[in-house]
Amino acid sequence: MQFEAYGRTDTGPVREQNEDTHLVDSDRGVFIVADGMGGHRAGEVASKLAVDNTHRILVDATDPDETRLVRDTGVEDAADVLRERLRYAMNQASLHVRQQAEGKPDLQGMGTTLVVLVVDGDQAHLAHVGDSRAYLFRDDRLMRLTRDHTVVQQEVDAGRLTPELARMLPHKHILTQSVGSHGPVEPDTTTRMVLPDDVFMLCSDGLTDPLTDQEIEQIMRETPLDLMCHELVEKALGAGGDDNVTVLVVGVESTDA
Ligand code: CA
């Protein structure tokens, strides 16, 4: 499957730094968004380290630890191997971020969210930790593909909180796991079939805080792929978004292209 990808990030009107990092590697079909956290510049450092490390491990098949891990799992299915590799890469990234913070008081406790999309043939593999999200826009409908690793999402899942109320709570960003600060992580991973005209969208909460899924869906319906990131970022800032905002879209070609 051929695809076209775009990414955009904006610091927003309030923050001095952009703690989001994104990566578009169309040649390898690897796409990543990370939203860092920590004092001073620590968030920026964490998200950059996590993205670079994850990407390096995913594309570098010669990593001896990585090949060992795949062999140890004993899995045969290519999709299983890839998801296992995603989990491994994110765990290695997490350890790396943690190690980099050691002995550096200004980086202590730094961490980051991480959402990774790998498009391989007609399959899309996703893995995430934290509350940066992946969506699929298909047949004019927007579908959320990730479940936030947040305390409020746990409450929603348990039926103790409605999604509408969850959006309003001040502690909605407290994560149940993050890359770096927690050391080992347990990413959620999925594989799905890619269809012509699918648009995968990865984003930080700078997009999903000010805009509802319905609003995002409407913008995606009305906007051509090459302008989508720009439009989504502008609408998020226009809706009062004051956080760093990052959006990445991967559009699969039409069959009649
Ligand atoms: Ca954020």
- Taking only the tens place, the pLDDT of each residue in 23-36 is 999 999 999 999 99
What is the model's pTM? 0.93
- Ligand 1 centroid to Cα of residue 43, in Å, is 10
pLDDT beyond 50 at 74: yes
Confidence of residue 181 (pLDDT cuts 50, 70, 90): confident
pLDDT beyond 70 at 231: yes
Spatial distance between the Cα atoms of 241 and 100, rounded to a whole number of angstroms:
31
Q: Given this model, what pLDDT does residue 81 score? A: 87
- Ligand 1 centroid to Cα of residue 86, in Å, is 23
Summarize the confidence of residues 210-216 as an average pLDDT. Answer: 97
Q: Given this model, what pLDDT does residue 139 score? A: 97
Confidence of residue 69 (pLDDT cuts 50, 70, 90): very low
Residue type, 138: R
Which residues have CB less than 5 Å away from ligand 1 (the ion)?
35, 204-206, 243
- Ligand 1 centroid to Cα of residue 12, in Å, is 10
Spatial distance between the Cα atoms of 66 and 115, rounded to a whole number of angstroms:
19
- Ligand 1 centroid to Cα of residue 59, in Å, is 27
Q: Given this model, what pLDDT does residue 1 score? A: 83
- Ligand 1 centroid to Cα of residue 204, in Å, is 6
- Ligand 1 centroid to Cα of residue 79, in Å, is 30
Percent of the chain, pLDDT > 70? 93
- Ligand 1 centroid to Cα of residue 255, in Å, is 36
Confidence of residue 65 (pLDDT cuts 50, 70, 90): low
- Average pLDDT taken over every residue of the chain: 92
pLDDT beyond 80 at 72: no
76: left (phi over 0), alpha (psi -120 to 50) or beta: alpha
- Ligand 1 centroid to Cα of residue 34, in Å, is 9
- Taking only the tens place, the pLDDT of each residue in 5-22 is 999 999 999 999 999 999
- DSSP structure string for 135-147: EEEETTEEEE---
Q: Given this model, what pLDDT does residue 183 score? A: 76
Summarize the confidence of residues 202-206 as an average pLDDT. Answer: 98
φ and ψ at residue 153, rounded to 5 degrees: -65, -40
Summarize the confidence of residues 95-114 as an average pLDDT. Answer: 94
- Taking only the tens place, the pLDDT of each residue in 130-143 is 999 999 999 999 99
- Ligand 1 centroid to Cα of residue 94, in Å, is 18
Spatial distance between the Cα atoms of 236 and 247, rounded to a whole number of angstroms:
10
- CB-neighbour burial class of residue 56 (10 A; exposed 0-12, middle 13-18, buried 19+): middle
- Ligand 1 centroid to Cα of residue 157, in Å, is 22
